[in-house]
């Protein structure tokens, strides 16, 4: 039986699309039970185009109400694994203790955690950065590292060009990591 995953995404959805494509091609044997976004973003349309149930759960003024709404939405989809791909929200401790969650991050953790990893690497004068897939815990990008790929920082890189080159590796790494993790056993 295929493992069930739920995708969490906030933006254009290029990393989510890599997973969708891998499932549709047979490279990944799993079921995408649903995709949830905190923003009314292009990733929702990507999911709809592939007949993946999608849900927009906007963050309102009451963060605890959003935490509960997200928890219930994911719980209703009964995932074996939650895959955060460009989801720009810190998940509630209750959420990450209840669900197995992995995340992609555009840096070689523990270096450059947080929302501005690419900018931070450039500002620090780093010559190498990369991407990490890690287990999500109650901290900010502090969970156990599963896999990493290095990406050199080129002389002409700015935040946009570097981030695009990192995303290429992120898309490959998340698919490869899911192949290694699933079927999901006890972690």
Average pLDDT over residues 71-89: 96
Q: Which CATH fold would you assign to the domain 100-181? A: Rossmann fold (3.40.50)
Closest CA to 150 of 91, 94, 179, 107: 107
pLDDT band of residue 185 (cuts 50, 70, 90) is low
Q: Any idea where the domains of the chain sit in the sequence?
A: 1-90, 100-181
CATH class belonging to 1-90: alpha beta
Q: What is residue 183's predicted lDDT score, i.e. its pLDDT?
A: 77
pLDDT in tens, 90-111: 999 999 999 999 999 999 999 9
* Identified catalytic residue from 105, 116, 134, 163: 105
105 is catalytic: yes
- Over residues 140-149, the pLDDT tens digits come to 999 999 999 9
């Amino acid at each position: 039986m295929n493992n069930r995953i739920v995708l969490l995404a906030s933006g254009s959805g290029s990393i989510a699309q890599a997973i969708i494509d891998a499932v549709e091609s047979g490279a990944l044997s799993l079921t995408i039970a649903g995709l949830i976004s905190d923003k009314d973003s292009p990733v929702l349309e990507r999911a709809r185009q592939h007949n993946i149930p999608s849900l927009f759960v906007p963050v309102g003024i009451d963060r605890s109400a959003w935490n509960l709404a997200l928890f219930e939405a994911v719980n209703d989809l009964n995932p074996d694994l939650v895959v955060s791909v460009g989801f720009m929200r810190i998940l509630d401790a209750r959420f990450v203790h209840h669900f197995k969650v992995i995340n992609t991050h555009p840096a070689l953790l523990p270096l450059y955690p947080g929302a501005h990893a690419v900018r931070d690497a450039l500002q620090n004068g780093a010559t190498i950065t990369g991407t990490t897939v890690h287990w999500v815990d109650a901290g900010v990008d502090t969970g156990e590292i599963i896999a990493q790929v290095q990406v050199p920082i080129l002389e002409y890189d700015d935040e946009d060009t570097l981030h695009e080159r990192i995303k290429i590796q992120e898309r490959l790494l998340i698919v490869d990591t899911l192949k290694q993790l699933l079927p999901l056993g006890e972690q």
